[in-house]
Amino acid sequence: MVWSGRCGRVDNPLDHVGPAGHEVGVAVIGAGYWGPNLIRNFLGCDATWLWTVCDRDADRARRVVGRYTSIRVTDDFEEVLHDPRIEAVAIATPTSTHHELALRALAAGKHVLIEKPLAPSVREAEEIVQAADQANRVVMCDHTFCYTPAVEHIRKELDAGALGTIQYVDSVRINLGIVQPDTNVFWDLLPHDLSIFDSVFPGGFKPSAVSAVGVDPIGAGHACVGYVTMVMPDDAIVHVHVSWLSPVKMRTVVFGGSRRHIIWDDTDPAQRISVYERGIDIARLRDSDDQRARMVQYRTGDMYAPALAETEALQRVVREFARSIRTGEAPLTDGRSGLRVVSVLEAVEQSIRNHGVLTPLHDHASIS
């Protein structure tokens, strides 16, 4: 793909839509691992019209789109930027390229959907968010798990205060491979959990400090197994275990509240969500001479598993992207959400370099 050169500005890209007169004209940038999934979902969405697939390897892109198609294939990003039919681009390229491609697309008047993570640093993520604000364009991060019915259910429960005060969150995201050659296990797997937390906690996920430890027992050159602990307000704590070296795949998150607990097991399609009416209450004994005396009460209630529809989350991602472009409303996983995720990832890296020392998160102006 040709990344160099000046990008052309489209005066009013909203004047150019799909053949039906309302679809958002889209190009997918990158036809590697994630690009084909985006291509399939943009094609399957009645709110979008896929005009072009752009990849360094044009032959690979042609194989992805197939022989019998009117979708244009190119290895020149400039062609995408100058095409007035294309209102938005979906970037599915290595993280190191996100910053440059996003800024050039925004300067050309395009809306941008970016594969996770938003950028490889807070500085670059902030520049993407600021450029989108200045261009009055949508920047959305493809945090796909946030659009699953299970996470939507958890978000509604937390919004309604059904769990009471959140006391802790435990997450396990482990599997055997894929060992990435250009990034560690934290940047590969942790964005899923961070984006989920950011989408379900009212006001976003904003830990005050992070402690992280990672190891490389197989000599991959970067961490393959890691543990992250995040300190939250009101004495709440969040812990995440990530690994490429587990013989089994586990995707489990426990949300512990003062009233209820939710367990999400993403590997169990028959019962992804379980809600437990169980917990512990501690009350001081008012009549005791010993002010430290406490009464511990165990609440044992029902467990129920809500029925959830099985829908493809990525289809909901592309629909949310199109809806945001047409209505002007911020998407659920907007640029600021992506920036908050990158902010935690950067603090994780700093803590690892300092052998797990608790590292405070900086208050970036663009995050709020």
> Domains along the chain?
13-143+315-334 (3.40.50.720), 146-310+342-367 (3.30.360.10)
Residue 363: predicted pLDDT = 64
Per-residue pLDDT at 365: 44
Instruction: Please tell me the pTM assigned to this model.
Output: 0.88
Among 52, 49, 42, 40, smallest CA distance to 19 is for 49
Cα separation, 346 vs 198, in Å, equals: 16
- Rounded Cα distance, 210 and 336, in Å: 19
Chunk the chain into consecutive blocks of 10 residues (it has 368) and report each block's average pLDDT, rounded to whole numbers: 35 48 92 95 96 95 89 96 97 97 98 97 98 98 97 97 95 93 94 98 93 96 97 92 97 96 95 88 60 64 88 96 96 97 97 96 58
Between β-strands 273-284 and 294-304, what pairing exists: parallel, antiparallel or unpaired?
antiparallel
Note whether 71 and 42 are within 8 A (CB): no
